[in-house]
Structure 1
Amino acid sequence: MYRTILFDLTDGVARLTLNRPDRLNSFTAEMHGEVADALDRVTAENGARVLLLTGAGRGFCAGQDLNDRAVAPGSAPVDLGDSVERYYNPLIRRLVSLDMPVICAVNGVAAGAGANIAFACDIVLAARSAKFIESFAAIGLIPDSGGTWVLPRLAGLPRALGMALTGEPIAAERAEQWGLIWKCIDDEALMDEAQGLAARFAAGPTLGLAATKHAIRGSGLKTLDDELDNERDLMRRLGNSADYREGVAAFLEKRKPVFTGR
């Protein structure tokens, strides 16, 4: 169905692979449209319980394909705000709001919007050879796709400013040390680790995992009292779920739980 991505849904795992390896999986309008369509399928098809995002070839994503824009000297100005609002902002919002864990397996360079798309995912695993580059300053822009919001929250203000102003590549091992990602993994083990984690989540208590994701992501905008109230409401709702009953029964019966995501 698609020309710029690969997508499949098997055993609860929705796997979306950016598939323009000759262009380091950089985004075009066509790719944005296909990714949006795939995410519609993730949301609409009841079988999806985790999303695994990765890239084909030697890179994860180099951000925007500048060849897809008329940016040559002498050409008419391009409304980059329109591009961000039409394509990148909806993508980030979709990844953050999905009612399931989103895993990103960064198999190579993640630059520009590609880095910030990875940082928007819930769990980021990166190959040891991978690098994260906030490359915007080199062309007179700011980190978009949530970059100015997420970088200081993950890495702290000095590191966020250093990454954004210098564009210095950050190796996966350093990204792990800085708290930008969850784990740095040897290249040959990356996809096995990512697929194993995806299978674990796909067999897990989906409602509880989604609620945990949303609660943690939203807590920074609330007071402690507000979040205590939110935790109370979520526990009340989850306590009525089939997965909670199954989890308790499996614990008492000393067996492995069989969660259904309900």
Structure 2
Amino acid sequence: MSFIKLKIENKVATIMLNRPEVFNSFNREMALLLQDTLDDCEKNDDVRAIVLTGNGKAFCAGQDLKEVTSPELNPGFKKILEEHYNPIILRIRNIEKPIIGAINGVAAGAGANIALACDVVVAHEKVSFIQAFSLIGLIPDSAGTFFLPRLIGFQKASALAMLGDKVSAEEAERLGMIYKVLPLENFEDEVNELALKMANMPTKALGLIKKSLNQSLTNNLEQQLALESKYQIEAASTDDYAEGVSAFVEKRKPEFKGK
């Protein structure tokens, strides 16, 4: 059984973490498989949006502690961070396609921070997020100390990271940690609808939006204005821009191709 499941349909790639018996916690094999799967989706022109979700009751419980406490299996924290989680976060942020985090259950530790690195994060009302690191004497990794204070503010991020409080999906939406809470009973249908909508948008422009937001995290105002000018000129040269303007003038629905 593969620890990662991949389904591609209607221009949407759904990547499912698949170790449900351990709440989709990461071992080395699953971490490396996820990187390879993200690479495949990036290269596949038939994929215009990506959904990242989990199989079973959890999205991801973070690192499999049985692996790190096993003398035979433990890769060591340096390898876990530099070869597992850091490359996953960088792929999520650098792939120029929208990535939807469809959080289907508890997201804890590295699982919570992988979720927060996605472009658009939705969760159903039974989901909770927890920065569980301090509870076992660790610090948040997987870019938790980078994204969390930018999403919800320094003071709240500091408290959640230090205290390890559980955050409900409703509270996460209220704080701005995630985009939206969806009803449990039709969670998959609403995720599919969102993914199809994004896959049929001008995805070249969405990729440029993603690059712009990434660089806004470190740019000053003048640098960001210059970057906007550069990417706007690039967006205006795409076929999708020409189609969008034509459809607007002709009062019809545009048919974007992601080119």
TM range (shorter): over 0.9
**Partners of 1:18 and 1:77 in 2: CA distance:** 21
Aligned residues with identical type, % of pairs: 42
**1:27-176 equivalent positions in 2, closer than 5 A:** 27-71=26-70, 79-176=76-173
Give distance in 2, aligned partners of 1:97 and 1:193: 26
The TM-score, its normalising length taken from structure 1, stands at: 0.95
TM-score by length of 2: 0.96
Query: Displacement, 1:77?
Result: 8.7
Contact 2:68 2:76 in 1 (8 A): no
1:188 aligns with 2:190: no
Q: Aligned Cα RMSD in Å?
A: 1.6
Q: Is the contact between residue 99 and residue 118 of structure 2 (CA under 8 Å) also seen in structure 1? A: yes
Note if contact 1:70-1:78 (Cα within 8 Å) is conserved in structure 2.
no
The Cα shift of 1:78 comes to 6.4
Gaps of 5+ in 1: none
Aligned partners of 1:125, 1:77: CA distance in 2, in Å? 33
AA aligned opposite 1:155: I
Q: 2:231 aligned with 1:234, yes or no?
A: yes
Unpaired runs of 5+ residues, structure 2, are: none
**What is the match of residue 8 of structure 1?**
7
Retained in 2: the 8 A contact 1:71–1:78? no
Mapped partners of 2:121, 2:164: distance in 1: 20
Over residues 140-196 of structure 1, what are the superposed CA-to-partner deviations in whole Å (9 max), with x where a residue is unaligned?
100000011111111111111111111110000000000100001121122212111
Deviation at 1:76, TM superposition (A): 11
Quickly say closer, same or farther: Cα 1:17–1:76, change in 2 above 3 A: closer
| Amino acid corresponding to residue 39 of structure 2 in structure 1 | D
| Matched-pair contact (CA < 8 Å) for 1:125–1:190 | no
Say if 1:77 and 1:26 are closer, same or farther in 2 by CA, change over 3 A: closer
Match of 1:26 in 2: 25
Distance in 1, matches of 2:217 and 2:44, equals 31
Describe the SS at the equivalent of 1:8: strand
